[in-house]
Chains A and B, each alone.
Chain A
Amino acid sequence: MTLGYVIYKLILVVVVFAVTLLIAMYSTYAERKVAGFLQDRLGPNRAGWFGILQPVADAVKLFMKEEMIPSVSNRTLFILAPGLSLLTACMTGVVIPWGTSLTLFGTSYSLQVTDVNIGILYLFGVVSIGVYGIMIGGWASNNKYSLLGALRASSQMISYEVAMGLSIIALIMTTGTLSVGQIAAQQHGWHWNILVQPLGCLIFIICAFAETNRAPFDLPECEQELVGGYHTEYSSMKMGFYLFAEYINMFISSAVISTFYFGGYNMPFVGRFIHDPNLLAVCGVVFLFAKIFFGIFFFMWVRWTIPRFRYDQLMNLGWKTLIPLSILNLVLTGAWMMRHEILSVFIK
């Protein structure tokens, strides 16, 4: 491992981190703008041109707010929880392939921070840890509403992880790899996984909504019943961290959905017009981000359209609909893959 390699990885990590934070920051602005436009309003438009400086103003506001730590809370855990939430949200970005690879001065630089051969398992592991941030925060607040919100969040995330995992297993069966980089590379041209796994894609998207605690599954922070849910007692930038983590999760979810099912950095027909591999890699990054931005818009679009589920409806949907459907998907995928062997039994 040379020094150059270390520097290149460091730069890539910092760039991915910075871009993630920047997009999360502007997602808050986009959310308010999209909400406004979908409701015949204009959204924030005072700070800067079209309100483009609104996130900066919001950040300043959050930092200036008084920091409250309830005297009955568990202080250490109370401070730790938002950080944990943000940390796990940021950690998922490393296995996403942001593009193919750039060749500079004879050396090839992959645009994926690390292509571990069990990338999907890593993703799931980190996502599962994500629930701890919410759980610890809700518990450490020592507040009934927070605890209820945290309980809802954890039971919801655990329930939907099952269906999500099952839908991913079907994907792993068809792609034959656990490496996220290889899954993206396999989908060149029109070989997008959504065409192979439409049902799995649908289940995965629904579960992604539940995992990120977004509407219509935003029960953990359902204002009408739980004040603010798990972050009721949080103020200032700790609260900001939770909100930030939610938007980072949304960004990473969109990136994962794009990579798993919508071809990642691939776009059909581009290879015919662009032949320079470096330019192609840059175009790949642009295409991936276009897909991600559409994904984020889709998250917001759904949020401002569909009312929240009731808690029993949420659990019914998760356990009685999505899990059987994903098992069915698994069986159908297996049957399709083994169709020659199955047919040979009958035809023989």
Chain B
Amino acid sequence: MQPLTNRSKVVVKKEMSLYERIYLPAVISGMMITFSHFFRKKPTIQYPEQTRAFSGVYRGQHVLKRDDNGAERCTACGLCAVACPAEAITMTAAERKPGEEKLYREEKYAAVYEINMLRCIFCGDCEDACPKEAIFLTDRKVNSEVNRKSFIYGKNVLVEGIEKEKRVDVSLRQTAAVLAFKKHKEFDHNS
């Protein structure tokens, strides 16, 4: 049979020489190996004080984006809920009243928007499905909670703040390929 690599070795069960049977030289060389590790640089990251940077496309807790004027982008079309393989997203739509133009971008908006974080598998399909660039996954971690109910995140958790400093940056998820795709004329209405 043709060997896949040249690394295979045929096992020979030969008598050990006296040098090998004394065992002490092997012990000493082994101890030298462990001792060389004693002074080696440790790869440990001191977790709560130091953290490792996430990947730019890390998929963590969701955010519901506002547009530049501070109006919610979500129109409660329900495409994210349909796309969701875990059926984690539910929403109730409502009609925008006169005078609420500052709050909601279009005539229809989500009165209730809930994601069950225990069901969510963080696949990012909701983000792909969204035609309004409203929902994104971010590099934030979902907190631990003490009961199951608390894991159902409503709009109070999901929607980002109006103020500039409370906005959630999702530019890392907008890779060059994503931006090129979003330039397609079908997405004109978003810009």
In whole angstroms, how far apart are the Cα atoms of A24 and B44 in the complex? 28
Interface of A (DSSP majority class): loop
Closest CB in chain B relative to A328 CB, distance in Å:
14
Which residues of B are found within 8 Å of A306, using beta-carbon distances? 27, 30-31
Known: A42-B42, A42-B44. A37 touches B37 (CB 8 A): yes
Which residues of B are found within 8 Å of A39, using beta-carbon distances? 37
Residue A132 is within 8 A (CB to CB) of chain B in the complex:
no
Which residues of A are found within 8 Å of B44, using beta-carbon distances? 41-42
Binary per-residue interface labels of chain A (38-62) against chain B in the complex, 1 for a CB within 8 Å, 0 otherwise: 1111100000000000000000000
Which residues of A are found within 8 Å of B35, using beta-carbon distances? 38, 301
Return the chain B residue nearest A313 by Cβ.
B23
Determine which residue in B30, B33, B35, B38 has the highest number of CB atoms from chain A within 10 A of its CB, and name it. Answer: B38
Which residues of A are found within 8 Å of B38, using beta-carbon distances? 37-38
Closest CB in chain B relative to A279 CB, distance in Å:
33
Residue A302 is within 8 A (CB to CB) of chain B in the complex:
yes
In whole angstroms, how far apart are the Cα atoms of A301 and B30 in the complex? 10
In whole angstroms, how far apart are the Cα atoms of A306 and B28 in the complex? 10
Residue A293 is within 8 A (CB to CB) of chain B in the complex:
no
Residue B3 is within 8 A (CB to CB) of chain A in the complex:
no
Residue A305 is within 8 A (CB to CB) of chain B in the complex:
yes
Tell me if B30 and A305 are in contact (CB < 8 A): yes
Known: A40-B43, A42-B42. A301 touches B31 (CB 8 A): yes
Tell me if B34 and A41 are in contact (CB < 8 A): no
Residue A304 is within 8 A (CB to CB) of chain B in the complex:
yes
Which residues of B are found within 8 Å of A302, using beta-carbon distances? 27, 31
Which residues of B are found within 8 Å of A305, using beta-carbon distances? 27, 30-31, 33-34
Which residues of B are found within 8 Å of A40, using beta-carbon distances? 37, 40, 42-43
| Chain B interface extent, by class | 10 to 19
Segment 18-42 of A: residues with Cβ below 8 Å from B: 37-42
Which residues of B are found within 8 Å of A41, using beta-carbon distances? 42, 44
Closest CB in chain A relative to B52 CB, distance in Å:
16
Segment 8-54 of B: residues with Cβ below 8 Å from A: 27, 30-31, 33-35, 37-38, 40, 42-44
Segment 41-84 of B: residues with Cβ below 8 Å from A: 42-44
In whole angstroms, how far apart are the Cα atoms of A42 and B41 in the complex? 10
Determine which residue in A42, A301, A305 has the highest number of CB atoms from chain B within 10 A of its CB, and name it. Answer: A305
Closest CB in chain B relative to A52 CB, distance in Å:
17
Return the chain B residue nearest A37 by Cβ.
B38
In whole angstroms, how far apart are the Cα atoms of A39 and B40 in the complex? 9
In whole angstroms, how far apart are the Cα atoms of A301 and B36 in the complex? 12
Tell me if A301 and B34 are in contact (CB < 8 A): yes
Which residues of A are found within 8 Å of B37, using beta-carbon distances? 37-40
Which residues of A are found within 8 Å of B31, using beta-carbon distances? 301-302, 305-306
Closest CB in chain B relative to A41 CB, distance in Å:
6
Closest CB in chain A relative to B49 CB, distance in Å:
11
Return the chain A residue nearest B28 by Cβ.
A305
Return the chain A residue nearest B24 by Cβ.
A202
In whole angstroms, how far apart are the Cα atoms of A226 and B30 in the complex? 27
Closest CB in chain A relative to B39 CB, distance in Å:
8
In whole angstroms, how far apart are the Cα atoms of A71 and B13 in the complex? 51
In whole angstroms, how far apart are the Cα atoms of A301 and B27 in the complex? 11
In whole angstroms, how far apart are the Cα atoms of A304 and B33 in the complex? 11
Return the chain B residue nearest A298 by Cβ.
B31
Return the chain A residue nearest B22 by Cβ.
A321
Closest CB in chain A relative to B111 CB, distance in Å:
48
Tell me if B34 and A38 are in contact (CB < 8 A): yes
Which residues of B are found within 8 Å of A42, using beta-carbon distances? 42, 44
Segment 287-307 of A: residues with Cβ below 8 Å from B: 301-302, 304-306
In whole angstroms, how far apart are the Cα atoms of A41 and B44 in the complex? 7
In whole angstroms, how far apart are the Cα atoms of A41 and B40 in the complex? 10
Closest CB in chain A relative to B14 CB, distance in Å:
19
In whole angstroms, how far apart are the Cα atoms of A236 and B27 in the complex? 36
In whole angstroms, how far apart are the Cα atoms of A40 and B40 in the complex? 7
Binary per-residue interface labels of chain B (123-135) against chain A in the complex, 1 for a CB within 8 Å, 0 otherwise: 0000000000000
Determine which residue in B33, B35, B37 has the highest number of CB atoms from chain A within 10 A of its CB, and name it. Answer: B37
Closest CB in chain A relative to B71 CB, distance in Å:
48
Closest CB in chain B relative to A333 CB, distance in Å:
21
In whole angstroms, how far apart are the Cα atoms of A41 and B38 in the complex? 9
In whole angstroms, how far apart are the Cα atoms of A302 and B23 in the complex? 14
Closest CB in chain A relative to B50 CB, distance in Å:
12
List 9 additional contacts besides A38-B34, A302-B27; criterion CB under 8 Å.
A37-B42, A38-B35, A38-B37, A38-B38, A40-B42, A301-B31, A301-B34, A305-B34, A306-B27
Q: Provide a sorted-by-A list of 22 A–B residue pairs whose CB atoms are within 8 angstroms.
A: A37-B37, A37-B38, A37-B42, A38-B34, A38-B35, A38-B37, A38-B38, A39-B37, A40-B37, A40-B42, A40-B43, A42-B42, A42-B44, A301-B34, A301-B35, A302-B31, A305-B27, A305-B30, A305-B31, A306-B27, A306-B30, A306-B31
What are the 5 tightest A-B residue pairs by CB atom distance, in nearest-first order? A305-B34, A38-B34, A305-B31, A42-B44, A37-B38
